[in-house]
Structure 1
Amino acid sequence: MDAELFPRERAEIAPGAVHVPGWLDEDRQRALLAACRDWARPPAGLRTVRTPGGGTMTARQVCLGWHWYPYAYARTVVDGDGSPVKPFPDWLGELGRRAVADALGPRATDPAPYDIALINFYDGDARMGMHRDADERSPAPVVSLSLGDTCVFRFGNTATRTRPYTDVELRSGDLFVFGGPARLAYHGVPRVRPGSAPPWLGLTGRLNVTLRVSGLTGGDGEERIMGDSPS
């Protein structure tokens, strides 16, 4: 009840990790959702990600700029239909830079442009295990934008998938940025709350748009194998 009576305040969850509630207004949420629906269409559209051990991720994914698959990047959907990955739009990169400046301050922005988007779709049963976003060469902050259903976002530490961690409620329009000492912290989504999306958005489920700076400079076939990041 208190969460509804009083405005949610921005919070530093850990050094370098900041939650900004309601960062995207209604118009920007609608525009981003429309773009996500375009990106999700084939070719190189929304897919189920299969892990090296033979399992599947419950959140489905589409990529822009560079295609992520466990645990590498490529210019084509090598674990799907083989199509070239969809381009990363300049306006999305500008949104990422503005998000970092608003959350962490102008000095935290990286001179390299954002060039990767991983867009994950969660239905009511989807989850994301604890992992690190460790497949990029750049240490630039990760930008996470939420649309649709509310989720519990578990933000941990850099040493282990277990405690200590902090559970944060991410609602539609919320921004979460993590960089600096928190850049390689383990994090995940243990729960989505079905039916909690704002009715005016017209989305059943949750979309998470994650922006990153790759640090990759090679040609069309370059890949990087490094870590364990599924989101």
Structure 2
Amino acid sequence: MNRLAALFNNGSVTTFLQSSESSYPVPTVERTHKIDIEGDVERALHLYLVNPVNLIFEDYLRRPSVRPGQSLTCKCQVTQEKGMPWSRVDMLWYVANKVILAMEVKRNDAIRPYEWNDALPPNSAGLTLQQQVQQLQQVVNLEKQQGDFVSLIFGKAEKIMRQVTKYFTAFKPPNILIFDWNNMILLDIKSAPSSGDFPHMSQTDGSGYWTFRRMLLAALIDGLNRA
């Protein structure tokens, strides 16, 4: 996502990130930890991803130019029951009582990238976020005319999308991450056209510059800016 990439093209943010990452190294992965079912992913997620990133983000909040005096709250298994169908999301992050990010955790390899690829903006290389969203909306409008815009995704991706759409309605996070240990997908509904028919999506495989830690941190900073 161009907007998230722009966060790390900012010199001050890059310098802060580099210094913070050295202060909060990732714990050594246990050889005995088998990542299989959703519970395995959740345990490892908190230890190796959420804990170090939350510490870095708390440092970011304390910067004079950001939100000094405001604190981060991270909750698990948050339930919304009032005024709408029952819904429970795996994780929510708050700053000043505003939701800035949600996360849905899935079992290992529940995310199949090929099931999501058609929902990514076509020919997106070199385009701005606004241009990508416009292209995606053209695809969505065409599919709606044919009466089946959910065909942009299929298989388990469609089931996951129906589930997380409830979280957007119930908790109204700027972004929601879906994570299965080997894949991470970011759903951004606030940058989609006002109809909100389909969110813009960005994906990372956790390698190179866009590690999962940086993806989570970028989603938190972006959510803070837009909450």
Structure with bigger strand share is: 1
TM-score, scaled to structure 2: 0.27
RCO higher in structure (CA 8 A, sep ≥6): 1
TM-score, scaled to structure 1: 0.27
